[in-house]
Copies of this chain bind each other. A is one copy, B any other.
Amino acid sequence: MVKLIKEVSAQDKILLAAKNVFLAKGMAGARMQDIADEAGINKALLHYYFRDKKKLFEMIYEEAAAQLFPKINFIFESEAPLFEKIEKFVEEYITMLLVNPFLPLFVLNEINQEPQYFQKKFWGKNKPKPEKFLKQIEKEVKQGTIRPIQPVHLLMNMISMTIFPFIAKPLFQINMALNDEQFRSAMESRKKEIPKFIIESIRK
């Protein structure tokens, strides 16, 4: 029989299922049975494609980290003016987090579990180098374009305001009585609100 609709390979089904389960429950909380169920196959097949749980987990972990960090790098490396970089960073990050809301908590958790593993694995040639971005801030301060501020704090503030609401999503939702759509809409408006908040604070 000719397949008109391309079928998803077992391997891809597993990877997708593993992503869902690991992101929701973490390495320790996830069960191979959960992943098999989610993928609609049996446990044995998981081991056929990926030798053991650790290996499967690492595929997902690396994919997640790869999704989270290169965008930062791009901002760090670009030659754009400061305010433009800030706007772009916040905009792109929130767009991505709206699609992958569990990514930050998952990755930060696993970094906290094994900082050395993370450092070895992801801090090779592709490591984000914030120096350039920090120097740019320093330069603007010296030129008097923005008020005096320690570059590190500005960077932390920008990243914190962008990512944290997704980590604390259920807390904010319960606390402020927001349903999913209201939360999504609030994050959407933060794409403009955060850069504005920052720029109002630092520009002269």
Could you tell me which A residues sit within 8 Å of B by CB distance?
25-29, 102, 105, 108-109, 111-113, 115, 118-119, 123, 128, 130, 147, 149-150, 152-153, 156-157, 159-161, 163-165, 167-176, 186, 189-190, 193-194, 197-198, 200-202
Contacts of A176 in B (CB 8 A): 130, 152
* CA gap between A180 and B156 in the complex, in Å: 17
In the complex, what residue of chain B is closest to A162 when comparing beta carbons? B160
Contacts of A119 in B (CB 8 A): 174
Other 9 A-B pairs with CB < 8 A, given A28-B29, A123-B174, A156-B161: A26-B29, A111-B170, A112-B170, A130-B175, A153-B189, A153-B193, A156-B164, A161-B161, A198-B201
Partner of A28, one of B26, B130, B147: B26
* CA gap between A202 and B202 in the complex, in Å: 11
Contacts of A153 in B (CB 8 A): 186, 189-190, 193-194, 197
A107 to chain B, nearest CB (A): 9
* CA gap between A193 and B165 in the complex, in Å: 20
Asked whether A170 and B115 contact (CB < 8 A) given A160-B161, A165-B156, A201-B201, the answer is yes
Contacts of A194 in B (CB 8 A): 153, 157
Q: Identify which of A25, A108, A119 gathers the most chain B CB atoms within 10 Å of its CB.
A: A108
Contacts of A160 in B (CB 8 A): 160-161, 163-165, 168
In the complex, what residue of chain B is closest to A187 when comparing beta carbons? B156
In the complex, what residue of chain B is closest to A202 when comparing beta carbons? B200
* CA gap between A115 and B169 in the complex, in Å: 10
Asked whether A113 and B201 contact (CB < 8 A) given A159-B168, A160-B161, A174-B118, the answer is no
